[in-house]
Amino acid sequence: MEKVLFGKTGLMATRSGFGALPVQRLGKPEGAALLRRGYEGGINFFDTANAYSDSEEKIGMGLSDVRGRIIIATKTGAGEPGLFWRHLNLSLERVKTDYIDIYQFHNPRALPGEDMLECMREAKARGLIRHIGITCHRLDVALAAARSGDYETIQYPLSALSSEDEIAFVRLCASLGVGVIGMKGLAGGLLTSAAPTMAFLRPYANVIPIWGFQRDSELDEVIALEQSPPALDEAMLARIEADRAQLSGNFCRGCGYCMPCPAGIEINNCARMPLLLRRSPSASWLTPQWQAEMEKIAGCVHCGQCMKACPYGLNTPRLLEECLADYRAFLSA
């Protein structure tokens, strides 16, 4: 699989990475085997997090014997030094390693303060981590992180649906030597194939999209695409334009930044239900459990906090009402 020099980290990373969030939904042997299959298929970049239940452990189970040949990126959501060190030690233990290649602050609402950066620097000086990164869903935070000079990598949602502003962010990172880890390459399930995003992001050599794999078939698709990367030709551009037109730029990306909701609404899925129903197999969204989840929308207390938190400026309560009306109509059709 083709590799690139990943920004100023100096790491040689495969152009596609393995996002190890979904493997937490598999049993331990199955999850470890899928990770191994990714490695055997040529992937050398694995992204996980302290918060992804047993995902790190599965990386340790499936890949510890090839530790020197892979890049491990993991994350801490710690907001204070004590927890930072507990998380880091736990990650090292679970992954069965004595260093993490890229250690990332996990989706902070604002850039971490000097006390937390000092933890990162100390961990790096002690050889426990090799590079400092951050993950975020907000473009303003991502831009500030890039300009701060504190981060060697930034993880941000990128797909074929990304805006010009988001691509300008990628270019800024390239000019600063910052590697970009692209999450949500399928736009949270709204794109049905990896090909458009792979073609769209390919010109940016500082971007490693990480694909969340839960099934062999998903992994096989990306490995096959990597063997013969899709071109951003006229047909592909037309396909991307059609997706953009259908999603009209004003859709819920499923980032979950607006949660938790005091009414218990699972906003990150409910607010894009019409798209999920039509762009992925609908049966899994029509179960009694999902019907109950959708009906929670009727209990929205209109506190407005989701709207304030949404980085995409969505009127979330109104969007949710529309989604519930559409869902009920879809069910009764």
| Residues at the site binding ligand SF4, with contacts judged by CB under 6 A | 252-258, 261-263, 265, 267-268, 271, 300-306, 309-310, 312, 314, 316-317, 320
Minimum CB separation from ligand SF4 for residue 153, in Å? 22
| Residues contacting residue 154 through CB under 8 Å, at least 6 positions apart | 133, 134, 135, 136, 142, 145, 146, 173, 178, 179, 180, 181
Asked whether the CA dihedral 65, 70, 75, 80 is positive or negative, the reply is positive
Q: Nearest Cα to 76, choosing from 114, 120, 140?
A: 120
Q: What are phi and psi of 176, to 5 degrees?
A: -100, 0
Reduce the DSSP state of residue 25 to 3 states and report it.
helix
Query: CB of residue 269 vs ligand SF4: minimum separation in angstroms?
Result: 8
Q: Which two tokens stand for residue 272?
A: 């894009």
Indicate the residue among 154 and 271 with the shorter CB distance to ligand SF4: 271
Given a contact cutoff of 8 angstroms between Cβ atoms, the answer to whether 128 and 92 are in contact is: yes
Q: How far is the CB of 241 from ligand SF4 (least distance, A)?
A: 22
Structure tokens given for 63: 């890949």
Phi and psi angles of residue 289, each rounded to the nearest 5 degrees, phi first: -65, -45
Q: How many CA atoms lie within 13 A of 38 on its CB side?
A: 34
Identify whether the C-beta of residue 151 lies closer than 8 Å to the C-beta of residue 270: no
Distance separating alpha carbons of residues 237 and 234, to the nearest angstrom: 5
Closest to ligand SF4 by CB, 61 or 271: 271
What's the token pair of residue 181? 């880890």
CB of 157 to ligand SF4, least distance (A): 9
Place of tokens 């042997």: 29
What is the nearest approach in angstroms of ligand SF4 to the Cβ of residue 143? Answer: 18
Burial label, 6 (beta-carbon count in 10 A; 0-12, 13-18, 19+)? buried
| Residue placing its CB nearer to ligand SF4 in the complex, 230 or 254 | 254
The least distance separating ligand SF4 from the CB of residue 77, rounded to whole angstroms, comes to: 17
Tokens describing residue 128: 């426990």
> Considering beta carbons, is residue 210 or 271 the nearer one to ligand SF4?
271
Alpha-carbon distance 279 to 288, whole Å?
Answer: 20
Q: Which is nearer to ligand SF4, 22 or 254 (CB)?
A: 254
* Least distance CB 161 / ligand SF4 (angstroms): 12
We find the least distance from the C-beta atom of residue 296 to ligand SF4, in angstroms, to be: 9
User: What is the smallest separation between the CB atom of 195 and ligand SF4, expressed in angstroms?
Assistant: 24
Compute the distance between CA of residue 121 and CA of residue 294 in angstroms, rounded to an integer: 45
The total number of residues shown for the chain amounts to 333
